[in-house]
C-alpha cells in the first residue's frame, strides 16, 4: 500500500522551470477542488531528543492528485499562497492538528507530545489569524502548550512590529514558536533578539554535508551556540545518518528530525513502524 510507505519514499510530481503556464493553471484549478475531494492529508514526522525518545511531531501536508499522484508541497504551497487557497488549507491543517492534540491529551502515553504546524506568512498575516487559532483551540479543547507554530524568516521581514504583537498574543496562551529553515532566508540576527521565539530549526541543507563540508560544520556549530545562548531549543532538520546525530549531540544540539528517526507517516502508522 503506497500510503503506508510514508511521504518521502513516494515519488512526488514536481513543477520545474519547464512547466508551462497552462500546466500551472491546470494544477491550480485542481487544487481548488482538492480539499472538498479529500485529496489532502496530513503526515507526521517525529522529532526526537538525544536519547532517541520522541518529543513531538511535525505535521506535513500531502496532496494525492488523481492523475499525477503525489504532488510535492514545495510545488503546491507556493501556488496556494498566490491564489489565497492557503487560508482554507492552512485552517484545515491547524484544525486537524488541534484535534489530534486533543485526542493525545486524553492518553497519558501521548499527552506530552507536541505538534508543530507550518504556518505560511500569508496565513499568519491575515487579520483573523489570532481569532482563528484561538477558536480552534477552544473548539477542540487542545492544550495550547502542545502546539508549536513554525514560521519562516520571510515573515519576520515583512512587518516586524505587527508580527511581534501577534506572536506575543498567541504566546500568552501558551503556544510556542519555531523559526523554520534557519539560515536559508534573509535572516537578520536582530529578529532573533526581538521576536518571542522558542525554537530554532537548522535547515537540512546545512546538515546534509555536515561531516564533509567544513563551512557547513562551522555554520551549524555557530548556530547551535547562538541558539543556546539565546535560550532557544535548537532542532536539526534532515538528520539521515547516525554520524550526523553523533556530531550534533557532541556539539550541543539535542533535538532532531530526519529519516534516521522516521519519515513523514500517516497518523495511523506513526508509532507502529518503528
- Chain residues that interact with ligand C2E, rule: CB under 6 A: 7-8, 45, 60-61, 72-74, 77, 90, 93, 118, 120, 150, 180-181, 204, 237-240, 257-259, 264
Closest distance between Mg ion and the C-beta of residue 178, in Å? 7
Q: State the Cα–Cα distance between residues 145 and 264, nearest whole angstrom.
A: 23
Separation CA 21–CA 10 (nearest Å): 26
Q: Is 23 exposed, middle or buried (0-12, 13-18, 19+ CB in 10 A)?
A: exposed
User: How wide is the angle at C-alpha 72 spanned by C-alphas 66 and 73, nearest 5°?
Assistant: 115
Which of Mg ion, ligand C2E, none binds 60 (CB below 5-8 Å, type-dependent)? ligand C2E
Nearer to ligand C2E, 48 or 192 (CB): 48
CB atoms within 10 A of CB 40: 18
Please give the residue whose beta carbon sits closest to ligand C2E in the complex: 258
- Is residue 217 classed as helix, strand or coil in its secondary structure? helix
Nearer to ligand C2E, 39 or 193 (CB): 39
> Footprint of Mg ion on this chain (CB under 5 A)?
118, 150, 180-181, 237
Smallest distance, ligand C2E to C-beta of residue 263, A: 7
Q: Which residues are CB-contacts of 251 (< 8 A; sequence separation ≥ 6)?
A: 220, 221, 224
Nearer to ligand C2E, 56 or 264 (CB): 264
Q: From the list ligand C2E, Mg ion, none, pick the one residue 97 interacts with, judged by a Cβ distance below 5 to 8 Å according to partner type.
A: none
- Cβ 208 vs Cβ 238: under 8 Å: yes
Identity of the residue, 127 or 129, whose beta carbon is nearer to Mg ion in the bound complex:
129
**116 or 140, CB closer to Mg ion?**
116
Amino acid at each position: 500500500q503506497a500510503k503506508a510507505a510514508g511521504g518521502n519514499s513516494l515519488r512526488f510530481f514536481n513543477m520545474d522551470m519547464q512547466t508551462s503556464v497552462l500546466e500551472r493553471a491546470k494544477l491550480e484549478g485542481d487544487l481548488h477542488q482538492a480539499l472538498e475531494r479529500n485529496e489532502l492529508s496530513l503526515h507526521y514526522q517525529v522529532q526526537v531528543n538525544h536519547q532517541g525518545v520522541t518529543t513531538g511531531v511535525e505535521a506535513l501536508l500531502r496532496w494525492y492528485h488523481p492523475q499525477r499522484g503525489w504532488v510535492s508541497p514545495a510545488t503546491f504551497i507556493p501556488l496556494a499562497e498566490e491564489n489565497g487557497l492557503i487560508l482554507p488549507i492552512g485552517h484545515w491543517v491547524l484544525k486537524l492538528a488541534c484535534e489530534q492534540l486533543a485526542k493525545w491529551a486524553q492518553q497519558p502515553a501521548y499527552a506530552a507530545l507536541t505538534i508543530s504546524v507550518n504556518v505560511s506568512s500569508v496565513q499568519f498575516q491575515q487579520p483573523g489569524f489570532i481569532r482563528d487559532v484561538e477558536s480552534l483551540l477552544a473548539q477542540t479543547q487542545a492544550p495550547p502548550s502542545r502546539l508549536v507554530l513554525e514560521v519562516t524568516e520571510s515573515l519576520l521581514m515583512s512587518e516586524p512590529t505587527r508580527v511581534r504583537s501577534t506572536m506575543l498574543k498567541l504566546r500568552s496562551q501558551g503556544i510556542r514558536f519555531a523559526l523554520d529553515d534557519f539560515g536559508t532566508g534573509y535572516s537578520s540576527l536582530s529578529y532573533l533578539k526581538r521576536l518571542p521565539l522558542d525554537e530554532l530549526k537548522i535547515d537540512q541543507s546545512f546538515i546534509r554535508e555536515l561531516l564533509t563540508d567544513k563551512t557547513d560544520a562551522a555554520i551549524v556549530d555557530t548556530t547551535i551556540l547562538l541558539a543556546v545562548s539565546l535560550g532557544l531549543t535548537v532542532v536539526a532538520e534532515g538528520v539521515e545518518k547516525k554520524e550526523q546525530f553523533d556530531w550534533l549531540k557532541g556539539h550541543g544540539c539535542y533535538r532532531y528530525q530526519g529519516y534516521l528517526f522516521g519519515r513523514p507517516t500517516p497518523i495511523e502508522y506513526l508509532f507502529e513502524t518503528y
